[in-house]
Amino acid sequence: MIILFGCNNDEARQKASLESETYEGPIIDMHLHADGKDDIPPVKMGFCTPVSTMLPYYDTRQDFNDVWDDLFANPRCDNPFWSPKNYEDYINQVESKLTKNKVIAVASGSIENVRVFKSIMPNNIISGIQFRVGRDSISAEQMRTLILENDIKIIGEISNQYGNIAPNDPRMFPYYKLAEELDIPVAIHLGSGLPGIMYYWEPEYRAKLSNPLALEDVLRKFPKLRVSIMHYADPFIDELITMLYHYPQLYIDLGGIQWNYPKEYFYEYHLKKIISAGFGKRIMFGSDMIIWPDFISHSIEIINETPFLSYEQKADIFYNNAARFLRLEENEK
């Protein structure tokens, strides 16, 4: 066997180098948060990846808020990510990361925050609108006006999971109907939040609502709806594969999960499973940048370092799949 392979040594080497080639083309980031002045903490917050090991264990005698405050103030890793010193620094860092890495980002945030991002970085931002039933008192009709008046290209991030609202909750139906009618996609958060987030920032978050099977009712009722599952419903991989298989219009974004777990685990048990099941044409890159702009380049690096992805597959994840999902070329005409 060794001798046989030896005959094709050059070819094999060429193939290997092509497979490991770093993608340097344009990138679409489907998952970037546009934050406002009040979202930037007055003191720098440190953050360690992977998130799954950030708080390796927790003793219930401790106060959960104190534990997290301490982790942010004194991150327990060698090279923590640090939040910007102020809003201006935040905007400058985001702009420089997007430009340097040739990224066009779908920005999720309030209308006002997204408007600021779009005005400062017109060529790097596609406008989205974040939404949560109950928290945001925007009727479907008001949503229509907001979309049309602000050139909104996508309804997302829809963060209902943080409000204990399932994707198939009938309260969402008027918004799905609107999206279908206007032919704009929706991007729905399904997946892991920070460990213990229900004891801290988001008391209504439910992990069980990450299961993407709940989307089946939605895709049956709204067959023309274009849906992206943000964070690819991590970690419900088998359920996700069921959904990708049966609903070929369904897309996913990686949404930061690349740094949620040790990358070997992410590669082997998540990305490789989705790719090897045959769904490489529907995975879209997403950094989930919130207040740490370095997440943009960090996320790009993790995908580029994936040991089993060919250059073509990287190009699909970084750009082609999202361009198709967003109908980018058609929209530019």
Q: Which stretch, 50-58, 101-109, 182-190, 243-251, contacts Zn ion (CB under 5 A)?
A: 182-190
Nearer to Zn ion, 32 or 274 (CB): 32
Residue nearest to Zn ion (CB): 189
CB closer to Zn ion out of 104 and 233: 233
Q: Segment near Zn ion (CB under 5 A), from 77-85, 130-138, 184-192, 217-225?
A: 184-192
Is the C-alpha dihedral spanning 157, 160, 162, 167 positive or negative?
Answer: negative
Q: Which is nearer to Zn ion, 30 or 309 (CB)?
A: 30
Q: Does 263 bind Zn ion (CB under 5 A)?
A: no
**Least distance to Zn ion, CB of residue 276, Å:** 25
Do β-strands 103-108 and 46-47 pair in parallel, antiparallel, or remain unpaired? Answer: unpaired
How far apart are alpha carbons 132 and 106 in whole angstroms? 18
Nearer to Zn ion, 189 or 270 (CB): 189
In angstroms, the CA 292 to CA 151 distance is 27
Q: Which is nearer to Zn ion, 186 or 309 (CB)?
A: 186
Asked if 152 and 131 touch (Cβ cutoff 8 Å), the reply is no
Tell me how far, at minimum, the Cβ of 256 lies from Zn ion, in Å.
Answer: 8
In sequence order, the β-bridge partners of residue 125 are 105
Span near Zn ion by CB under 5 A; candidates 43-51, 115-123, 186-194, 303-311: 186-194
Judged by beta carbon, residue 189 or residue 226, the one nearer Zn ion is 189
By CB under 5 A, tell whether 33 contacts Zn ion.
no
User: In the complex, what is the shortest distance from the CB of residue 255 to Zn ion, in angstroms, rounded to a whole number?
Assistant: 6
Residue 299 CA: distances (Å) to CA of 32, 90, 157, 260, 328? 12, 18, 19, 10, 22
Residue type at 71?
L
The vertex-247 CA angle with 245 and 248, nearest 5°, equals 80
Smallest distance from the beta carbon of 274 to Zn ion, in angstroms?
Answer: 18
Q: Among all chains, which residue has been given the structure tokens 């309804």?
A: 155
189 touches Zn ion (CB under 5 A) = yes
265-304 residues near Zn ion, rule: CB under 5 A: none
d(C-alpha 159, C-alpha 33), whole Å: 12
Nearer to Zn ion, 31 or 153 (CB): 31
Buried/exposed 1-31: b ≥16 CB within 10 Å, e otherwise: eeeeeeeeeeeeeeeeeebeeebeeebbbbb
Part in contact with Zn ion (CB under 5 A); list of ranges 79-87, 99-107, 146-154, 185-193: 185-193
Q: Which residues bind Zn ion (CB under 5 A)?
A: 189
